[in-house]
Structure 1
């Protein structure tokens, strides 16, 4: 009986290690293919952005926090450095356009001379959309040259027409070698909106993984309790059997 009690803390440690390993595994799966730039302490504020078509109907909505990561040449330090810039909604203007095959969202921060553009594409055959293009132009006082980057062959933020894409967890979206985006608590719908409300949300893999980890750990703990209980009952039964008269 004493031998079994000593094994219980080790089993609990195993469950704790399992939880940490699962979380690290999920994070590794969603890591960008290149080294990620440093992330500042403060998260960006979420901004609400919407685009209307010619008849005044909302055709794109987005609610998200955005963080720009760029590798630039610093005039002050005289070397290449990662610059991290949070996009501030209160000084960011939105514009764009929509049609049946593509939707464009342009975000402009005049103070920092930032122009960030998202292009979503719709596949009419599958009725699925994706973020297919991101471009950025920006100019900062401490940067030697204006920054510009674009990628027209992206494959992010997949969703179904009439539904929104949601990701509560922080995501890193590599665009080019020198430019990536971090998104925070993102929800976007670029097609088939009904009024000014998001459609049913389709959650990202990161959110699903983080929901799965507590379930796995809970199942492991329940299994551990069951094993300890069975071992205790067997040990008790054997102990009682030793007192039987012959």
Structure 2
């Protein structure tokens, strides 16, 4: 029988990756990463969460091209690769940038080792890849952010979940500040941003009603006391 991926708390290990070209930080990516992997155990299919540990082993490719990439490695032979694509258009037969970029490909490589206990295929190395169109899109004057969990099924056996995720690519000058510029939020963050003002407004409205009722009750009692004195 197949075991559904368990619900896990938000991943806690925060990663931070950058790629520099000269004095310019071309891209920056931060976040926490968890893999949910389905595989055959000796007693059937199972799905387990694998939290990506803190790693400083990464390689970035960046420069004066329309494609940038990041590969970070962990454990023994495991890796995750992000490919960033700058959107271009053709004007008068020439390619020109549109100032938009997105994640075009994600590749996950994992090994059937001790992190997948009781596997029926020990030491098997697996590469899973997905191509996306305009996934996590932003513009060069801003960055993409998603504080809540983003889950992406790479294929039927691998799901990548990120949290506290921010990235900016194709930066043209200087360092990258992931707290400035135009913010592009994931749908879940936008829902949260809209819910908070509504909740605050409802709470304030309730407070006003309570104060008004208390005022009317106090006024009624005051008038009654006045009548009794007369």
Q: One fold, TM greater than 0.5?
A: yes
Q: Does the CA contact (< 8 Å) of 1:118 and 1:134 recur in 2?
A: yes
Q: Equivalents in 2 of 1:134, 1:171: separation in Å?
A: 14
Q: Contact conserved, 2:11 with 2:162, CA < 8 A, in 1? A: no
Q: CA offsets, 1:142-188, max 9 Å, x none? A: 43243321111254322111322222333223332322212122221
In structure 2, the residue corresponding to 1:225 is in which secondary structure? Answer: helix
Q: Deviations over 1:110-151 (max 9, x none)?
A: x33112111122223542211121111210324324332111
Normalising by structure 2, what TM-score?
0.73
Q: Which one of 87, 103, 110 corresponds to residue 138 of structure 1? A: 110
Post-superposition Cα deviations, 1:197-241, rounded to whole Å, max 9, x if no partner, equal: 236251524334334333222211221222334445555666748
Structure 1 or 2: more strand by fraction: 2
Residues 155, 180 of structure 1: CA spacing in aligned structure 2 closer, same or farther, 3 A cutoff?
Answer: farther
Residues 228/213 of structure 1: CA separation in 2 closer, same or farther (3 Å cut): same
**SS of 1:133 mapped into structure 2:** strand
**Residue of structure 2 equivalent to 1:8:** none
The answer as to 2:206 corresponding to 1:224 is: yes
Taking the aligned partners of 2:17 and 2:58, their CA distance within structure 1 comes to 8
- Unaligned residue ranges in structure 1 (runs of 5+): 1-34
Q: What does 1:36-75 align with in structure 2 at a 5 Å threshold?
A: 37-40=5-8, 43-53=11-21, 57-74=24-41
Per the TM alignment, residue 192 of structure 1 is displaced from its structure 2 partner at its CA by 1.8
Pairing 1:178–2:157 present: yes
Cα deviation 1:80-139 (Å, max 9, x = unaligned):
211322222335322334444221111222x33112111122223542211121111210
Residue in 1 that maps onto 2:85: 121
The alignment of Structure 1 onto Structure 2 pairs a total of residues equal to 208
For 2:73 and 2:196, locate their aligned partners in 1 and report how far apart those are by CA, in whole Å: 40
1:81 and 1:162 map into 2 onto residues whose CA distance is: 43
Unmatched 5+ stretches in structure 2: 90-97
8 Å contact from structure 1 (residues 113, 140) kept in 2? no
**What is the root-mean-square deviation of aligned Cα atoms in Å?**
3.2
Q: Write the distance in 1 (CA, Å) between the matches of 2:28 and 2:218.
A: 64
Superposition map of 1:79-228 within 5 A = 79-90=44-55, 92-109=57-74, 111-124=75-88, 126-141=98-113, 142=117, 143=119, 144=121, 145-198=124-177, 200-201=180-181, 202-205=183-186, 206-228=188-210
